[in-house]
Structure 1
Amino acid sequence: MSHMPELKSVALPEDAVEVGRIADAWGIKGWFKVIAYSADPEALFTAKQWFLLPAEKGAKNFAGTVLLPIQQVRPHSDTIVATSPSVPDRNAAEALRGARIFVAREHFPKTDDGEYYWVDLMGLRVVNREGVDLGVVKDLLATGPQTTLVMGYEEGGKERERMIPFVDAYIDHVDLPGKTITADWQPDY
């Protein structure tokens, strides 16, 4: 029988972003392993509180959204381990297994000029310098040192995909408020 820690039920913030999930208990003192969805999971390390949603499949030990105060997060070999004052022992940590971790966007570290979080690029419309619509960002691929935008667009009634490397050579401007990316790219590349 798992002992669910006493966690406060809260509303998931509008700007919450799913950043990972709790994999399992780690050790006996209430630490737990975390699987990060991003290769650069800075928000996991900087946010002082995580919002948890129950696992999509498997045992659901809680319902709705709960707030998990975070005490410490650190890399450990190829994974991340964390501890919370609300999770006193291994049983409590096991009860969180599979929980989805969300961090409020406002708790993300500030980005430098020209740096963007993937989550901010999703759904943006990409147009070229001539104003031709190239599609909407539906995915990003990390290929070695560079990121590639994957856009969905329609052609002849069919859903198609187009890829553009997200590098200065091709990307002129990202307008987050305007939800557009301007690229130096032709539809027939």
Structure 2
Amino acid sequence: DILHCIEAWGPDEQRRAYEAIARFERDGLDRLQIMPGASELCGFLDARQISRRGLITRNVKDAVDLFHQRFGMKFVPALSREFRPYKPDPAPLLHICSTWDIPPTEVIMVGDSLKDDIVCGKRAGAFTCLLDETGRYGPHDSLPEDVKPDFMVSSLPEVLSVLEEHFDLAPVSVAESRI
């Protein structure tokens, strides 16, 4: 984990390393894209009046701000790399739960990293859903118990099914129920 590794270095080495990372990230901002299915997932949540959605990323705040501007989706809180400690520590997710004044047992952490996202969610006591688009983690049953997510999907649209099948979601609006 490069971020944890850098923290062990001296101040000058840290500064140079963070500057190099920042250069790569600035270059990447021009190519920033939304993950397939993200708009549909947010629309699904909006239709059910589920407005609480947070973001925990190892990207810098500038990338998060650009994401919000470019794609019109808002995640509050949106915790970037500047929030410490980093995931897999549960602190970022616990901070979001505290901000929302709800227990972690009422939250689902969806992420594409077993060692960061899922471990963070499990340590916080939340439900977890691993997004494994390429199948790199193998079958759900093959994962070690200490990192096994509650759910595993291969695309964001599959998260809709997980939410509908396993959670008591807020009712749809009256206008939508008449359609």
* Higher radius of gyration, 1 or 2: 1
Give the structure with the higher percent helix.
2
Q: Bin the TM-score by the shorter chain.
A: under 0.3
How does the TM-score come out when normalised to structure 2? Answer: 0.24
Give the structure with the higher percent strand.
1
How does the TM-score come out when normalised to structure 1? Answer: 0.23
